Structure 1
């Protein structure tokens, strides 16, 4: 497979060079004799004074330099080329398909309306306070191509002296007057239409939050007066337009709240009303108990209308997991025309999901331990189990996994069978009552789960494990999520081992000890800050901090087994350790679907008390499709260890290399190719180490101040099939710094032996 891909890339580069030399002739011969291909425009700004934020002004002006010329790829007009090819009498199936995906109609010099562009330039300049500007244009022509040059003469702009509020009726005058005094518009500000639009939106938003239900920003109008000044200054006045409806300038309060907890548009409205905490709950069969639903509703009777409170209520109700639709509607209550206060009736319509659901999912599993393969997951869900929004899920999973590449070796395939039961409460379950008002953005969920897994790893071992969790998860705001599991218990039993695996354990006492710690009981906490939810942002940041502490509470009940033996709990040896890691990511999005993605990951684990080594399942590894892609999974490190140079190594088939310290860094440039095909160029660096020397590795695994020179480094290219955020990823990478080699031989970009990685989803 690697050989085929290498040939493919070489063939592609060869074709690009050949095609690049031939395409220009085929493009030129199709351009009509009386036309020239339009290649774009340049803008020249001439000013008699210094322009503040000239880069921002230039960007806005360049946005109106229309039309856009035909796009180019590596200097070639591929879209235009396939357009002309499709004009032939018999373009062929491939050319028709390429035209559909890439084709572009030609943009000629005659398509450019320079006078219209000049008017747009002047309009944008006036909107920014540069009145009485001038614009001109000219073409630069060659035999078959033409470009446009636009020049704008920009005079000194008009600047604001005062910002005042005109006379308005009560009670809205007092509200707007206080907002004008807090305005970001200040003396000396350049006349800017965009800033005035933002000011109207700011005032409208604040008025809405103060109860002005029927107000609209379009009711506000600005007037600029220059009569008092001779130095390009102006006074700015804010007014209300004429004939503004009287009900738009009075605040509204909520007089009644009706909650339809089991609403169906085909059903009649329930006649029975349950009054609970100043709200009316209307439901026939008590679908959702009011005492459990009420904390999610932040609307209150007598409260001024506030759209933010309404959105907050809708968001909180949506997070319960029992409802398909959440719809909040307001109805005006008739009041006298002379009243200075309006009344609203709030109706909350909640349409539930089906109570029971069954799903079957065929998955392509790609795990961190390099195993890849199909898995079938069957899930039964029961929503609103006890009438309080509780969700019960039970999942049966069957999977077969195998490691890709590297030849056949022991442990390179695995069969897994798992059963997981999960019960989720949309509220805090705690011995001491916690006020729900403390959680303003969302109410935490209490999650409990019990799971049992059976794994058979070929020619190595058979393992059975059980896990029990009790914890909480909640969103502090749009970007921040906390998850804490005060109870996290797992038990692992190595039921059956082969002689081959026993030999591996005998050769590596540290590894053997890590498998002996069967019982893990502790606490885990995760903090996540995620800006990736805003897909349109240019700069996106992500941070995840994970803390895992085990064995402290259970040690109070530990039973002594002697001076040199570890303590046990219920006859089982338990693990005691602390582990923390930090994952930092940054995405810079620019151009059309282009991204530079960077990541730094570091972690440290420390065994203490009842343990002298962290359990195997909690240790770090390096290498693979989600790590350092130029090295096979778990093949990198620890430190500078090289099993081929170890005369005592008899367990080379056991490819899992782990440590209690990790450091990784990645950078990747992602770009579109065509339609759902994406490409990438990347570089990775990282390694694992042990803080305590493992004699099996001859001391080469220990972390030292020289760790920078012990990083494994690699680079490569990738191809991704991205269909509506479902990503199948192929990455071809080669190492250029291998820490397992001798000093002086480590830097070697071995492109002749690349590693092919297959994975699901982006690596970071």
Structure 2
């Protein structure tokens, strides 16, 4: 092993040396290879931590970027030189040169003066108003590196922030939110913060009806002449701001065109064809959609003050209906010059009403199992003219082993699933809605599955669900199924399986009849959705209840004798709780610390003495402890009853799983992790 490692090191060093020689061998006469920039800060003013931050930021701004390297070797440049001058671009040499390789970055490509201006401007934008930058190139062995020497000077600090005292409505509205300002006394001056403050004010104004306002209409003046390396900031409206940007607008009329085509003629958008429904005008001559669907999607009501939140949520809801291909809108001021009202127009282009799709896959495994599967799905959009979605999926698949211990124990499965989704809550005598950009949904699902294991058994199962799904925000999602039914029964068991199951409780459980009728609830919270921050929390919680009502009605109690049945089948009675908690910390641009904790607890009672087999917890597999097969890792030690190719399932009523890992980008597209 030691000799092998030494040989690998020798080969790698040799390759690196060859690459180093070839990187400059084919340069044009009088040229040098540009190898990058170094930032040298010769000023005691910034602290060490701040110096590192400045250095990293400035180095990233210099242009051009040098040739990419892998472990210090300019691999792409080496490939470029190795390919020579191929005659055809589509040849192997052409692929090597133009697809894999990259041309050398020359010292002559560096514009020293331009880089100096960029770096100095960046420092000034960060509050270093007296910064001085100088650049110099160093040539050695036909390679050039540029060193930029930086004198930052003292950083200017915000002394005072003043909002203009203009009596106009616009300025008063701005001043109301001045307590939320991002410009804080004592903070360093930063142009990015100034820009962010303008965006913040604009966002506040958009919620107060100022539809035509723009961040460019704000000016934040900086006075750096007050001494002591401090600056005063004054926030005010530019004098040339147009009159309409100074007005708060309200909603006048809302027009919806659900049959809009991208190539629409004027006749397609005539207001005269509009039908009025609960404050909205719907132009739908073909009566393709029920107006109720739009009333639930629209967040604007006539007379409301315009705000960006309702604007975005209305568009988001229309998109999330899943029946429109394109959604766009337009705001138009009412012609009366003294009026501050907006007419709103929504143009909706429909998706095809019906669609058919097929997915096919093939797989092979290390235990010689080979299989394939196909899914054919049919969708019918706007089924009852209210945005309903009916989807039907048929699946079939198999796994076959041609050699090895499991030869002849082939597996075949098939299923049919139908789901009807309503874009609203269907709750008798109750009207509920969510004030988010996501349409609440009611789901009805029925499904049938059949599983055949040759020489062993055939099982079939029936599933049915009725429930609701809604999102509070993009990061908070709820699913509640008040009715969830699952019925599993064996329709064929071979004598071979029965003889082995006689002495193996795990095998007996795998084929037992199961009847689950209950409710379940899922809550998902995901801070990682659209989050580019340094930290993120993910939480998924499940609560599953079965047999409570049936148990109360029948007085079920296994301690009192024979379990109760419904339609001749014993029903399960239990409570099952499970949480999946994850926490991510971004340590740097290349390193992430990830943690996960899974806790599950199931409690059978009443009509059950244990959880149903399909509801028990298990460990192992791709989404668990990857070093073990799914269901192969059990509590403590166990006897592997691997007789006649039967492998027991390790499952239980309690689950506790934890892992922590450090993920790192090693180089290029190669990532690694150390975990416990």
Taking structure 1 as the reference length, what is the TM-score of the superposition? 0.79
Structure 2 counterpart of 1:458: 454
Structure 2 counterpart of 1:355: 353
Q: 2:133 aligns with which of 119, 132, 135?
A: 135
Q: Confirm or deny that 1:298 pairs with 2:296.
A: no
Structure 2 counterpart of 1:605: 602
DSSP-derived class of the 1:452 partner = strand
Deviation at 1:511, TM superposition (A): 4.6
Quickly say closer, same or farther: Cα 1:366–1:478, change in 2 above 3 A. farther
Quickly say closer, same or farther: Cα 1:531–1:181, change in 2 above 3 A. closer
Quickly say closer, same or farther: Cα 1:366–1:625, change in 2 above 3 A. farther
In 1: Cα distance, 2:340 partner to 2:244 partner: 8
Q: 2:652 aligns with which of 629, 652, 659?
A: 659
Structure 2 counterpart of 1:758: none
Q: Confirm or deny that 1:419 pairs with 2:413.
A: no
Deviation at 1:233, TM superposition (A): 3.0
DSSP-derived class of the 1:633 partner = coil
Structure 2 counterpart of 1:727: none
Deviation at 1:65, TM superposition (A): 2.6
* 8 A Cα contact 2:593 2:660, kept in partner: no
Deviation at 1:15, TM superposition (A): 7.0
Correspondences of 1:66-215 after superposition (within 5 Å): 66-88=63-85, 93-166=91-164, 168=166, 170-215=168-213
Correspondences of 1:23-34 after superposition (within 5 Å): 23-31=19-27, 34=30
DSSP-derived class of the 1:63 partner = helix
In 1: Cα distance, 2:149 partner to 2:53 partner: 17
In 1: Cα distance, 2:38 partner to 2:412 partner: 63
Structure 2 counterpart of 1:316: 317
DSSP-derived class of the 1:500 partner = helix
* 8 A Cα contact 2:182 2:193, kept in partner: no
Deviation at 1:477, TM superposition (A): 0.4
My pick for the range that moved more, 609-618 or 485-494, is: 609-618
Q: Deviations along 1:508-539, whole A, 9 cap, x unmatched?
A: 23552564342011222211123444275565
Structure 2 counterpart of 1:737: none
* 8 A Cα contact 2:485 2:517, kept in partner: yes
Structure 2 counterpart of 1:581: 578
My pick for the range that moved more, 425-434 or 81-90, is: 81-90
Quickly say closer, same or farther: Cα 1:518–1:157, change in 2 above 3 A. closer
In 1: Cα distance, 2:395 partner to 2:590 partner: 36
Deviation at 1:588, TM superposition (A): 6.2
Quickly say closer, same or farther: Cα 1:586–1:252, change in 2 above 3 A. same
Q: 1:49 aligns with which of 41, 45, 50?
A: 45
In 2: Cα distance, 1:15 partner to 1:487 partner: 66
DSSP-derived class of the 2:15 partner = helix
Correspondences of 1:667-686 after superposition (within 5 Å): 667=661, 669=663, 679-682=670-673
Deviation at 1:458, TM superposition (A): 2.4
Structure 2 counterpart of 1:500: 496
In 2: Cα distance, 1:242 partner to 1:191 partner: 25
My pick for the range that moved more, 101-110 or 212-221, is: 101-110
In 1: Cα distance, 2:597 partner to 2:364 partner: 22
Quickly say closer, same or farther: Cα 1:53–1:209, change in 2 above 3 A. farther
Structure 1 counterpart of 2:392: 394
My pick for the range that moved more, 343-352 or 536-545, is: 536-545
In 1: Cα distance, 2:211 partner to 2:665 partner: 45
Q: Deviations along 1:305-332, whole A, 9 cap, x unmatched?
A: 2122111111112222222222221111
In 1: Cα distance, 2:291 partner to 2:206 partner: 29
DSSP-derived class of the 2:428 partner = coil
Structure 2 counterpart of 1:332: 333
Q: Deviations along 1:459-499, whole A, 9 cap, x unmatched?
A: 21101110010111111101111111111101111111122
In 2: Cα distance, 1:590 partner to 1:32 partner: 43
Deviation at 1:216, TM superposition (A): 1.1
In 1: Cα distance, 2:91 partner to 2:15 partner: 19
* 8 A Cα contact 2:591 2:662, kept in partner: no
* 8 A Cα contact 1:168 1:240, kept in partner: no
Taking structure 2 as the reference length, what is the TM-score of the superposition? 0.88
* 8 A Cα contact 1:462 1:494, kept in partner: yes
Deviation at 1:407, TM superposition (A): 3.7
Q: Deviations along 1:143-167, whole A, 9 cap, x unmatched?
A: 2434333221122233333322346
RMSD value, Cα: 3.5
Quickly say closer, same or farther: Cα 1:477–1:376, change in 2 above 3 A. same
Q: Deviations along 1:233-285, whole A, 9 cap, x unmatched?
A: 33322333343222221121111111223333356336443222222222113
Q: Confirm or deny that 1:231 pairs with 2:233.
A: no
Quickly say closer, same or farther: Cα 1:433–1:262, change in 2 above 3 A. farther
Correspondences of 1:278-297 after superposition (within 5 Å): 278-297=279-298
* 8 A Cα contact 2:506 2:648, kept in partner: no
Aligned residues between the structures:
663
Structure 2 counterpart of 1:557: 553
Q: Confirm or deny that 1:630 pairs with 2:630.
A: no
Q: Confirm or deny that 1:217 pairs with 2:202.
A: no
Quickly say closer, same or farther: Cα 1:549–1:318, change in 2 above 3 A. same
- Mark the runs of 5 or more structure 1 residues left unpaired by the alignment: 1-8, 686-764
Q: 1:489 aligns with which of 485, 497, 501?
A: 485
Deviation at 1:666, TM superposition (A): 6.6
DSSP-derived class of the 1:82 partner = helix
* 8 A Cα contact 2:274 2:283, kept in partner: yes
In 1: Cα distance, 2:671 partner to 2:230 partner: 53
In 2: Cα distance, 1:605 partner to 1:14 partner: 58
Q: Deviations along 1:394-451, whole A, 9 cap, x unmatched?
A: 22211113589x9432785321121111111111111231332x44443420101111
Q: Confirm or deny that 1:479 pairs with 2:475.
A: yes
* 8 A Cα contact 1:411 1:460, kept in partner: no
* 8 A Cα contact 2:182 2:196, kept in partner: no
Q: Confirm or deny that 1:257 pairs with 2:254.
A: yes
In 2: Cα distance, 1:149 partner to 1:566 partner: 83
In 2: Cα distance, 1:66 partner to 1:658 partner: 59
In 2: Cα distance, 1:424 partner to 1:247 partner: 44
In 1: Cα distance, 2:209 partner to 2:283 partner: 26
In 1: Cα distance, 2:671 partner to 2:409 partner: 29
DSSP-derived class of the 1:620 partner = coil
Quickly say closer, same or farther: Cα 1:370–1:87, change in 2 above 3 A. closer
In 2: Cα distance, 1:423 partner to 1:372 partner: 34
- Mark the runs of 5 or more structure 2 residues left unpaired by the alignment: none
Quickly say closer, same or farther: Cα 1:615–1:98, change in 2 above 3 A. farther
